Amino acid sequence: MSNDEPSAQIPPPAALLGAAGLIPFMGLAVAGHLAPEPWRLPALTALSPYGALILSFMGGAQWGLAVAAGERRLRPYAVSVAPALLAWALLAAPLALGLVGLAVGLVLLLIYDLVTIGRGEAPAWYGVLRSRLTLVAALSLVVGALAPSAGLGGAP
Q: DSSP string spanning 61-111?
A: HHHHHHHHTT--SHHHHHHHHHHHHHHHHHHTS-HHHHHHHHHHHHHHHHH
Mean of the per-residue pLDDT values of the chain = 93
> What is the average pLDDT across 18-33?
98
Give the torsion sign (CA, 114, 25, 86, 11): negative
Query: How confident is the model at residue 156, as a pLDDT?
Result: 47
What band does 7 get if pLDDT is binned at 50, 70 and 90?
low
* CA 123/CA 81 separation, integer angstroms: 21
Question: Whats the size of the chain, residue-wise?
Answer: 156
Helix (H, G, I), strand (E, B) or coil at 121: coil
Instruction: Tell me, yes or no, if the pTM score tops 0.85.
Output: yes
* CA 55/CA 76 separation, integer angstroms: 16
> What is the average pLDDT across 74-91?
97
pLDDT tens digits, 41-50? 999 999 999 9
Query: How confident is the model at residue 88, as a pLDDT?
Result: 98
Query: How confident is the model at residue 90, as a pLDDT?
Result: 98
Query: How confident is the model at residue 82, as a pLDDT?
Result: 98
What band does 6 get if pLDDT is binned at 50, 70 and 90?
low
